[in-house]
Amino acid sequence: MNIYFAGSIRGGREDVDLYSRIIRHLQTYGEVLTEHVADPELLGQGEQGLSDQEIHDRDMDWLRQSDVIVADVTVPSLGVGYEVRAASELKKNVLCLYRPQQDRRLSAMISGCPDIKIRNYKRIDDAIEIVNEFFQEYQLSTR
C-alpha cells in the first residue's frame, strides 16, 4: 500500500517530531512516499535542489500513486491544504489529523468537505489510535 503523508514544511516546522512518529507508525501499514516531511534537516524554506514546479509535479505524481492520504493539518499550510483538496478530487481516502488550539480553528474548506475524514487529537497516542481506526475502516471497505 502506498501512503501519502502531508504535513507543513514552508508553513512552519514546529510539529516535525510529531510527523516523524506518525510516519513511523504509517510505515507499519505500507510505504510512505513522503517520509521526507519528517526530516528534521528540512527547514521551512523547503527542499533544496528542486524547483517549485519539480516539487509540485513529483508530489502530484505521488498523490496519484497513493492509496490513502494522511495529513496533519494542525499547522496552517497552503501546500497541505492544496494536497488535501487534490487528493479529494482524485477520490482518494483522506484522513486529516487536527490538534485543536485555543487561538485557531481549522479552515472551513477542510472541515466543511464531506469527502474528508477529520479527527481531532490531543496527544500522539490519540493520533496513532485514530490512524489505526482509519486503516481498519479502509481495509474493510476494500474487501
Instruction: Supply 68's cell numbers.
Output: 490513502
What is the pLDDT at residue 120?
97
Q: Which amino acid is at 103?
A: D
Angstrom CA distances, 105 to 26, 99, 126, 134, 143, stand at 26, 10, 19, 23, 36
Reference 16, options 33, 53, 41; nearest CA is 41
Reference 96, options 130, 62, 136; nearest CA is 130
Provide the whole-model pTM: 0.94
Reference 88, options 114, 106, 62; nearest CA is 114
**pLDDT, tens digit only, all 143 positions of the chain:** 999 999 999 898 999 999 999 999 999 999 999 999 999 888 777 788 899 999 999 999 999 999 999 999 999 999 999 999 999 999 999 999 999 988 889 999 999 999 999 999 999 999 999 999 999 999 888 87
